[in-house]
A and B are shown apart, each in its own frame.
Chain A
Amino acid sequence: MAQLGEPALEWTRKHLLGLEDLSAEELDIILDTAESFREVSTRKRKKVPTLTGKVVVLMFVEPSTRTVTSFSLAAGRLSADTVSFSKGGSSISKGETLVDTARNIQAMGCDVIVLRHSAPGAPHLLARNLECSVVNAGDGAHEHPTQGLLDMFTIRERKGHIEGLTVGICGDIKYSRVARSNIWGLTKLGARVVVCGPATLIPDGIEEMGVEVFHDLDEFIPQCDVINILRIQLERQKSGLFPSIREYARVFGINSERLERAKDGLLIMHPGPMNRGIEITPAVADGPHSVVLDQVTNGLAVRMAVLYLVCGAKG
């Protein structure tokens, strides 16, 4: 386990753009580092001086309350200065390009840009054009690496290990960055990943990412040690990808009755925000299997670990 305030020697990456490129060893470094940081959140004074003098810019071009709050608190607990930069109040809405905006921010002196953007690859664009570290906080349907990491952290904490588990991901796989980051991270750490959803929301060639595909929940549920239920975007119905919310809830909604066939000790996760009564019933969301609030708590520790590691990588 890494010592607080001392950069992990093995960590060399300046950016965190996705989990696809990370090795199992690198994933373990992040998760171990997060474990050491989680203790900070239980202290009375929830702050360590690790990143004093560092500037973290939260550039959320696509709105998000949960992730921005989590990153902001994570940076604060490491004593970094944070600046938030959201679409409405910035020059991004005045026609300036993303690269120009980010270069301006960099010129004011910043060490890390945390970027949330609706375009896949937007963090890669910044990483190519900037000197500072870039952390991907979600780029379109591509990746959401810190969400993947906090899901893995939560599984490891509850189950003691990831290797050998069957982790199910249920719902809109096609448009989900959470699904992709989970698939890369979990398969690298030795889990079997299965996905389940309507054929119209399972993208072409997903099997080549190392997962098995199901369309029948009742066949899918009994295999899983963990089920990560994705939020269904209600717009997908309007674009014709499934017939109605009612049908979606009936065919792909997870309820207590269906969970009767689940393994003992099944964990139910959800990246939030939930559509209660659609992809998940309130009884399941608040029931004994649910670790949804653990995910939120662990998100903070994981994001502290990521900020700490990318800052340390620059030496």
Chain B
Amino acid sequence: MAKTTLIENGRVICPGQGIDKRLNLLLAGGTVAELTEGRPEADETIDATGLIVAPGLIDMHVHLREPGMEGAETIATGSAAAVAGGFTTIACMPNTEPAVDNEAGTEFILLQAERAALARIYPVGAVTKGRLGRELAEIGQVSRAGAVAFSDDGSPIHNAEIMRRGLEYARMFDRVVIEHCEDPDLSGEGVMNEGTMSTILGLPGIPSASEEVAIARNIILARLTGARLHVAHVSTAGGVELIRRGKAAGAHVTAEVTPHHLALTDECVRTYDPVFKMNPPLRTADDVAALRDGLRDGTIDVIASDHAPHPPESKQVEFSQAPFGVIGLESLLPVAITELIDEVLDWPGLIATLTVAPAAVLGIDRGTLRPGADADVTLIRPDQRWTLDVERFRSRSRNCPFHGREVTGRAVRTIVGGNTRFRAD
């Protein structure tokens, strides 16, 4: 007999099934057995009184740094950070050293994920060989090896012709192309948002136009090819509007936003602390408002962390010398709850951006508590007040812009395939 677990008295929110109700959830042998008002017998009972019972959360934009940059993160430490943040599933970007652009590289990720045995990990393969933007990678074979999406993230695909071919080719395998939308010529030497703040600070700016020009180009190419385009980490008001219009015009375009772009502005850079340096950069309050509107009206489908670990010494330097990127696996959920609940999204809306929506973009059968689905469950205590402390993070890196922030709500238990992989003390 398979082991059974009953999660009782919780508020079950499963946006994929339109459920938001006090129900008991029975797991049996690694799958969801039933959602019921009754109280079936079980080997183990978890009292979820006061908790939200959600499908296992998905972070579709994570950099795990292995292979090649294990000083910043490994698949094992990244997996530990994922489950601690409430994520049962993550998709990892291929900008490692070497880049994940072939079968062997893809299989290596899956093998290391299996060894870590914490979260489910889906590799994203590179669109072009070595992420150099010149020749297409072996997208067919890499798909067969297990990549669910393709992206050169870390860099944009500069050449519009290569982008077009990548979209066309990935479409054959029903794979989405996740694009870091940026025009590198317009970004130039920029290290922060271009505007009054960059002028005051004397730092070279990255104009909003750099993102907007690329989003516009890529939506046009998605329409040309009929392929699926996912806009990574949209950060500008203009970008949101382009995606809104693209969707209305029938392009197969989806988009994600990060908690830092939803919660912080370029005012943070005033301290010259590189913990606020990422690409795309923190923008203005007007952009933050537009991103929130985009979430509200469904223009933006997904919230993702763009978890980008860097070792502490690399951020202890002059702002312009520091690498781009911040970690987010362990801060995403509490920051999203604190910043968005009631003001921007209701609970089912927020859970959807972290479950069904990313599952649909990646084309994976996850993010639901439908009977028969894998028993991936995240228990959330919505009202717990606490302080984010990077010293307690599982990630190997500490570059979190939310360190020290008072937040409300957190994942208290993360269950993957019926097994508890994280429990808050």
Contacts and interface: CB of A to CB of B under 8 A. Distances in A.
Same assembly: yes
Interface of A: 20, 97-99, 117, 119-122, 124-125, 128-129, 139-143, 174, 177, 180, 203-206, 208-209
A97 B194 CA distance: 27
Interface string B301-329: 00000000000010011111100000000
A121 B199 contact: no
Contact of B195 (A119, A141, A143, A204): A204
A139 B319 CA distance: 12
A205 B208 CA distance: 14
Nearest to A122: B318
Contacts of B331: none
Interface of B: 194-203, 205, 207, 271-273, 313, 316-321
A177 B202 CA distance: 7
Given A120-B202, A203-B199, A208-B196, 7 more contacts: A20-B200, A119-B320, A125-B272, A125-B317, A204-B199, A205-B197, A205-B198
A180 B199 CA distance: 9
Given A125-B318, A203-B198, A204-B196, A120 B203 contact: yes
B202 A141 contact: yes
Contacts of A180: 200, 202
Best-buried of B199, B207, B273, B321 by chain A (most CB within 10 Å): B199
Q: When A and B form their complex, which 6 residue pairs have the shortest distance between CB atoms, in order from nearest?
A: A121-B272, A205-B196, A142-B202, A141-B202, A119-B318, A120-B202
Contacts, number: 71
A122 B197 CA distance: 17
Nearest to A208: B196
B414 to A, nearest CB: 36
Contact of A120 (B195, B196, B271, B320): B320
Contacts of A143: 202
Given A97-B316, A99-B316, A204-B194, A120 B201 contact: yes
A61 B202 CA distance: 18
A255 to B, nearest CB: 29
B144 to A, nearest CB: 44
A40 B197 CA distance: 40
Contact of A205 (B199, B203, B271, B318): B199
A180 B196 CA distance: 12
B319 A209 contact: no
Contacts of A121: 201, 203, 272, 318-320
B388 to A, nearest CB: 21
Contacts of B199: 174, 203-206, 208-209
Nearest to A173: B199
Contacts of B273: 128
B271 A124 contact: yes
6 contacts: A119-B319, A119-B321, A128-B273, A180-B200, A204-B205, A209-B196
B318 A117 contact: yes
A85 B194 CA distance: 34
B332 to A, nearest CB: 27
Contacts of B320: 119-121, 140
A139 B196 contact: no
A140 B202 contact: yes
A129 B272 CA distance: 13
Best-buried of A121, A140, A204 by chain B (most CB within 10 Å): A121
Contacts of A125: 272, 317-319
B394 to A, nearest CB: 27
Given A99-B317, A125-B318, A204-B195, A209 B202 contact: no
A18 to B, nearest CB: 10
Contacts of B318: 98, 117, 119, 121-122, 125
Contacts of A209: 196, 199-200
Best-buried of B198, B200, B207, B313 by chain A (most CB within 10 Å): B200
A140 B201 CA distance: 9
Nearest to A183: B200
Nearest to A61: B318
Contacts of B317: 97-99, 125
Contacts of A205: 195-200
Nearest to B314: A97
Nearest to A123: B272
Contacts of B195: 204-205
Contacts of A142: 201-203
Contacts of B197: 205
A121 B317 CA distance: 10
Given A125-B272, A180-B200, A209-B200, A120 B319 contact: yes
B316 A139 contact: no
Contacts of B198: 203-205
B200 A97 contact: no
Contacts of A208: 196, 199
A120 B201 CA distance: 7
A219 to B, nearest CB: 23
A124 B272 contact: yes
Contacts of A177: 202
Nearest to B193: A204
A129 to B, nearest CB: 8
B386 to A, nearest CB: 26
A97 B274 CA distance: 15
A120 to B, nearest CB: 4
Contacts of A141: 202-203
A211 B6 CA distance: 67
A139 B271 contact: no
Contacts of B201: 120-121, 142
A67 to B, nearest CB: 17
A139 B272 CA distance: 12
B350 to A, nearest CB: 34
B207 to A, nearest CB: 8
A180 B320 CA distance: 19
Contacts of A204: 194-196, 198-199, 205, 207
Nearest to A120: B202
A97 B272 contact: no
Contacts of A129: 316
Nearest to A17: B272
A97 B318 CA distance: 9
Nearest to B320: A119
A128 B315 CA distance: 13
A174 B199 CA distance: 7
Contacts of B321: 119
A132 B32 CA distance: 62
Nearest to A177: B202
A95 to B, nearest CB: 12
